[in-house]
């Protein structure tokens, strides 16, 4: 008797860089394409909508109060996702049409924090087209801190995706032991790791997380080439002279709960990676090691997670 399974997909695509509506349309198209292949989970890269802020690293982004950095940030904020405005509705419709979950990295302009700061947010959409989780990246990495605000623990949640339990982290959060543990402790056995797009990020840690957690791990990345940058971006000539030819080379991959590749990293091309997962493989590998089960000592080691969304303001109005 075969164990229950799930077909999953990673859509490694190139965004229409810094263009929200065009990239949303492309993502929705890829969701439909993966669903036609039988996928019940489709994953995309970190910050794919509207794109990763590659300019910061290459244009002296840390210099204080410069006109060009203000110009690019203002454009980024204008093209960012406002969830309650309906910016992701085409992707939600594609998920409903395809009957699949979607894990998607976006740059969110958060109205609950006054609507001007940007967050690297991972959105999870269910098969009914409902957003079931929004996880804001806990700690932006290095130059990301110049354009992204710090997130919170609200989205550190496990979600049912029968027969598995789904969890996801953004980029270098996957190197944070306690962030991983917060998901392991909720029973996650299908882990999505999103990245802006680099083989150097995915080729080691994907297999490590799988082996550590005895879970399936999907690493989703994007690609981006300088010659595809839209012609009408602000200060495009300055960008072209500063950016390398290849900004993101992908590296999307899928590892099994034994830490071995199911789908090895795909580099420098747009593609949809498909794999069939079986729950039985998780049970088999948990026999020897289960990080929050029989191979844990909660009487000695215990993690406390503050899972609330701070807003910075409370009003106490007279009724």
Among 137, 144, 212, 285, the active-site one is 137
Q: Tell me, what's the pLDDT at 26? A: 98
How far is residue 77's CA from residue 18's CA, in Å, rounded to a whole number?
Answer: 10
Predicted pLDDT at 1: 47
Spot the catalytic one: 26, 40, 43, 46. Answer: 46
Burial of 298-317, coded b for 16+ CB within 10 Å and e otherwise, reads: eeeeeeeeeeeeeeeeeeee
Per-residue model confidence (pLDDT) at position 314:
85
Q: Is 278 a catalytic residue?
A: no
CB 39 within 8 A of CB 8: yes
Are the CB atoms for 218 and 189 separated by under 8 Å? no
- Spot the catalytic one: 26, 100, 171, 212: 171
pLDDT, position 2: 64
The verdict on whether 171 is a catalytic residue reads yes
Domains and CATH numbers, the chain: 5-286 (3.60.110.10)
Q: Would residue 43 show up in a list of annotated catalytic residues for this protein?
A: no
**What is the pLDDT tens value at each position of the chain, 319 positions in all?**
467 899 999 999 999 999 999 999 999 999 999 999 999 999 999 999 999 999 999 999 999 999 999 999 999 999 999 999 999 999 999 999 999 999 999 999 999 999 999 999 999 999 999 999 999 999 999 999 999 999 999 999 999 999 999 999 999 999 999 999 999 999 999 999 999 999 999 999 999 999 999 999 999 999 999 999 999 999 999 999 999 999 999 999 999 999 999 999 999 999 999 999 999 999 999 999 999 999 999 999 999 999 989 888 888 898 6
């Amino acid at each position: 008797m075969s164990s229950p399974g799930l077909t999953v997909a990673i859509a490694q695509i190139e965004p229409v860089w810094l263009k929200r509506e065009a990239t949303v349309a492309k993502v929705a198209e890829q969701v439909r394409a993966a669903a036609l292949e039988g996928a019940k989970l489709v994953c995309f890269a970190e910050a794919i909508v509207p794109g990763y802020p590659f300019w910061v690293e290459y244009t002296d982004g840390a210099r204080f109060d410069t006109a060009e950095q203000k110009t690019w940030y203002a454009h980024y904020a204008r093209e960012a996702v406002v969830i309650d405005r309906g910016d992701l509705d085409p992707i939600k419709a594609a998920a409903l049409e395809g009957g699949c979950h979607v894990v998607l990295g976006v740059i969110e302009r958060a109205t609950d924090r006054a609507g001007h700061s940007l967050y690297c947010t991972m959105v999870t959409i269910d098969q009914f087209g409902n957003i079931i989780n929004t996880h804001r990246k806990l700690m932006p990495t290095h130059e990301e801190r110049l354009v992204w605000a710090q997130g919170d623990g609200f989205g550190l949640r496990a979600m049912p995706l029968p027969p598995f339990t789904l969890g996801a982290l953004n980029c270098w959060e996957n190197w944070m032991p306690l962030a991983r543990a917060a998901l392991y402790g909720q029973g996650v056995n299908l882990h999505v790791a999103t990245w802006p797009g680099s083989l150097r990020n995915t080729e080691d840690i994907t297999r490590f997380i799988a082996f550590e957690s005895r879970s399936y791990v999907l690493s989703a990345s994007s690609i981006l080439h300088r010659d595809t940058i839209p012609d009408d971006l602000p200060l495009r000539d300055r960008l072209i002279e500063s950016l390398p030819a290849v900004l993101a080379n992908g590296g999307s991959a899928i590892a099994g709960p034994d830490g071995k590749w199911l789908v090895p990293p795909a580099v420098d091309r747009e593609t949809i990676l498909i794999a069939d997962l079986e729950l039985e493989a998780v049970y088999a590998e948990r026999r020897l090691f289960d990080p929050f089960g029989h191979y844990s000592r909660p009487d000695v080691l215990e993690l406390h997670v503050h899972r609330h969304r701070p807003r910075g303001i409370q009003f106490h109005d007279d009724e």
